[in-house]
Amino acid sequence: NLAQLIIRAFYWMDEGLQQNLRKAGGPKVSHAQSMVILVIGEGVRRPSQIAEHLGISRQAVHQSVRELVNMGLVELVPDQEDKRAKIVKLSKTGMPKHLVAADILENLEAALAQRIGKRKVKHLRDVLASDWGEPVGL
């Protein structure tokens, strides 16, 4: 089924990311934590927006963020637009690891293109980037 194939593809990419991060001296992080790091790296900073972007609860994001803060990979700083809120940013130790993660993901995509072909990877990218609309209620 399509959902299982998408999940399998996600885990293929994430496992490659995890293995290569560890080879580069990075910490062991969970799948959820690596997704939070990647979203922060894309410029999404508010926990509520991270949750929305990932399709998970704010509580799950806060849990991952707390763990990442304890690892020294991210930090919570005051939100300049809303003094009551905090935003998440990569720490000085977290930033180099993120840049390494971006390189790893680029290399994984290139490796996938070698395995299944550049046209298939481009098509996959186009399909996944398409606007699928709201979920269908059946």
Instruction: Put residue 51 in one of left, alpha, beta given phi > 0 → left and psi -120 to 50 → alpha.
Output: alpha
Please, which pLDDT band fits residue 27 given cuts at 50, 70 and 90?
Answer: confident
Which residues have a Cβ under 8 Å from the Cβ of 15 and sit 6 or more positions away?
none
Q: What is the pLDDT of residues 50-106, one digit of tens each?
A: 999 999 999 999 999 999 999 888 999 999 988 888 999 988 877 787 778 878 889
What pTM did the predictor assign? 0.76
Per-residue confidence (pLDDT) for residue 53, from 0 to 100:
93
Per-residue confidence (pLDDT) for residue 45, from 0 to 100:
93
